[in-house]
Amino acid sequence: MGTIYLVRHGQASFGSANYDELSELGWQQARRLGAYWRQCSGLRQAGCKPHFEAVYTGTLTRQVQTWAGIAEGAQVPVEPVVRRRALNEYNVPAIIHAAHPEPLEKSREPAAYFRRLQALRSGLVGWMQGNLAPQGLPSYAQFRYGVMAVLDEVRTRHRGDVLVVTSAGPIAAVLSHLMRTPPAATAELNIAYRNAALTELAFSRSGYALMAFNALPHLQSTRHRRWISWI
C-alpha cells in the first residue's frame, strides 16, 4: 500500500497583474514544506515522507513553482516530474461570472473579497449541480473524472509514496468522489483549503482511503503559524 500526498500550491499573487505565480509568502510556504520533510526524515510521525517514488503536478505556474520550492527546501532534484493538465484549477473568473454576470470589484478590501467569495460559492454549487455552465469549462462531472483519472494512473503505476501538487478545486473533487459529499459541502471543502496544505490518501489496487485532510504539520510552530493563508 502506498500514499498519495495531495498538496495545494502555495499562496498565489492575488490582486496582482498575474495571479498565476507564487507570492513571496507562497515561496516560503513551499520551501518550508520541503524543509520539514527533509528535517523529519527517518522519524515515524504523521506527514514525514521526504522521499517520493514519483512527483506529479499540474501545468499552472503556481503549481510548478510550488514543487520547485518544495524541492529546494527538501534539497532534492526538481526533475523528473510528471505534468498533467487535469490537475489544473478550474477557471475561477468563469465560475464567478456564471453566478454573478455583473462585474465585481477586484480589491483586497474585506467587503469586496466577501462578495467575490459568495459569488464563487454560489457558482461552484451551481456548476456541481449542473445548473450553471461556466464558459470554457467542462461539466463538473468531467472535471472530477479528469482528476480521478490522474490518481488512477498513480495507483496503477506506483506502489510507494507519490506527491501530487495541484489546487484546491481538484483536491475537493477527489473528496467529493471518495466521500460522496453533496455540492454545498464540496464547495465548502474547496473554499476552506489552505495554501500548501496536505491531504493524504492511502491507496492499493482496490481503491483509496482518506488518512488526513488540509493538514499543515510544517506550519505549526509559533514562528511559522503566521504563514498560514487561504488565498
- What is the mean pLDDT for each group of 10 consecutive residues in the chain (231 residues)? 94 82 97 91 52 95 98 92 97 94 73 84 97 96 98 95 97 97 97 97 93 95 93 81
Are 63 and 168 members of one domain? yes
Q: What is the pLDDT of residue 45?
A: 53
Are 193 and 103 members of one domain? no
Are 180 and 216 members of one domain? yes
Q: What is the pLDDT of residue 17?
A: 73
Model-level pTM? 0.92
Q: What is the pLDDT of residue 44?
A: 44
Are 145 and 201 members of one domain? yes
Domain with 223, as residue range(s), is 2-89+139-227
Q: What is the pLDDT of residue 151?
A: 97
Residue 183, sorted as left (phi over 0), alpha (psi -120 to 50) or beta, turns out to be alpha
Q: What is the pLDDT of residue 16?
A: 72
Are 114 and 152 members of one domain? no
Q: What is the pLDDT of residue 62?
A: 97
Are 32 and 96 members of one domain? no
CATH number at residue 211: 3.40.50.1240
In total, how many domains does the chain have?
Answer: 2
Domain-terminating residue out of 117, 136, 155 = 136
In one-letter notation, the amino acid at residue 82 is V
The CA distance from 32 to 27, in Å, is 8
Are 82 and 95 members of one domain? no
The sheet with strand 198-204 has its strands ordered as: 82-83, 54-57, 161-166, 2-8, 198-204, 207-215
Cα-Cα-Cα-Cα dihedral of 213, 42, 32, 168, to 10°?
Answer: -20
Are 13 and 119 members of one domain? no
Domain-terminating residue out of 109, 136, 163 = 136
Domain-terminating residue out of 77, 103, 136 = 136
